Amino acid sequence: MNLFFGKKQVLKNINIDFPRNQVTSLIGPSGCGKSTLLRSFNRMHDLSPDAKIDGSLKIDDLDIYSKENSVTTLRKKIGMVFQKPNPLPKSIYENLSYGLNIHRFPKNEIPDLIEKALKESYLWDEVKDELKKPAVKLSGGQQQRLCIARTVVLRPEVILMDEPCSALDPISTNKIEELILSLKQNYTIVIVTHNMQQAQRISDKVAFMYLGQLIEHDNCENIFKHPAKDLTRNYVNGHFG
């Protein structure tokens, strides 16, 4: 696939696939197009009028950009967690019920679905007594786990994460990483990260990008121990970027 903003080509001939139930990390220096690539998977670029994409993106056999698919069902299938925790200015409970109501889940199932998602996101014990509390009153790490729970509650197939720990302290980061490892049993996860150690700790596959191109895509161990390209070796060893 290729992606343009106006005349500028941001992504060049990217060809990549993400195996089911694995964690793939996208790494590379700032501005190399990782987040842009990630956001094209759930059509977040639809919001910017000058973005243009050619090529094909598929989930299972479904064309992501096909006109017949509604973008709303697609985004239910491909959830996204953002860099800065962005809870909606509502209560904890409403943050989770929002998506469920949008997708017309039966009203009587909603409380159970919410409890289940909060448990899976390791948040239930911390918030079960104060579900009516404004979500912004939670700590940064809790907010981010809430955002993950909000995505998980819709039972997507893929979860996209855009540097989900970059605004968090090491302890919260650790919790999110544990969470990611437990979530991959049920979901395919694609995560953008700047943190090499994090990429090594959590990924099955790693893709290294540079200046809008996919340089190398391989198992985690190969990328960090025996990279095929010099560029990759220099980057993972911290010689640039």
Partner 1 sequence: MSIKRREQADIIFRKIFQATGFITIALLAGIFIMLLYNSIAFFVEVKPIDFFTGSQWDPGSMKGDYSIAPLLVSTGLVTLGAMLITVPLGIFTAAFLSEIAHPKLKSILKPIIEMLAAIPSVAIGFLGIVLVGPWIADIFGIQNGLNAINGSILLAVMALPTIITISEDAINAVPLSHREASMALGASKWETIFKVTIPASMPGLIAAVMLGLGRVLGETMTVLMATGNAAKMPSGFLDSVRTITATIAIEMGEVPYQTTHYFALFAIAVILFLITLSINLLGEYFSNRLRRFHA
Which member of 2, 22, 69, 91 binds partner 1 (CB under 8 A)? 91
What are the tokens at 195? 């943190």
Which member of 84, 116, 155, 194 binds partner 1 (CB under 8 A)? 84
Considering the complex, what minimum distance in angstroms separates the CB of residue 224 from partner 1?
Answer: 30
Q: Which of residues 198-217 bind partner 1 (CB under 8 A)?
A: none
Considering the complex, what minimum distance in angstroms separates the CB of residue 136 from partner 1?
Answer: 5
Site string for partner 1, 102-131 (x = CB under 8 A): xx----------------------------
Stretch that binds partner 1, among 18-26, 68-76, 106-114, 121-129 (CB under 8 A): 68-76
Q: Which of residues 6-45 bind partner 1 (CB under 8 A)?
A: 42, 44
Stretch that binds partner 1, among 54-62, 72-80, 113-121, 176-184 (CB under 8 A): 72-80
Stretch that binds partner 1, among 56-64, 74-82, 186-194, 205-213 (CB under 8 A): 74-82
List contacts with partner 1 (CB under 8 A): 42, 44, 47, 71-76, 79-80, 82, 84, 86-91, 98-99, 102-103, 134-136, 147, 150-151, 154
